[in-house]
Amino acid sequence: MEKVTLSVSGMSCGHCERAVKGALEGLNGVHHVTVYLQEGKVDVEFDATKVDIAVLKQAIEEQGYDVA
């Protein structure tokens, strides 16, 4: 299991938090997601044999947020 902290801009409310969290949790290989709304950070625990960071970033961006 790996863990990455992504910097995500544009998350402004609880709806945003749920949109990002839900998109990531829907990916095969993602085990746990914690969104820090105020800090603009998302912690993701994932199985690197099933999913990679590029896919995580894409899922966030598809929800309309930018990943640093």
Question: Which range, of 6-14, 28-36, 43-51, 52-60, touches its own copies by CB under 8 A?
Answer: 6-14
The nearer residue to its own copies, 21 or 31, going by C-beta atoms, is: 21
Say which residues have a Cβ less than 8 Å from residue 36's Cβ, sequence separation at least 6.
Answer: 42, 43
Q: For 40-53, give one letter per residue: b (16+ CB within 10 A) or e.
A: bebebebeeeebee
Residue identified by tokens 């690197």 is: 48
Question: Which range, of 12-20, 23-31, 39-47, 51-59, touches its own copies by CB under 8 A?
Answer: 12-20
Binding to its own copies by residue 9, rule CB under 8 A?
A: no
Return residues touching its own copies (CB under 8 A): 10, 12-16, 19, 64
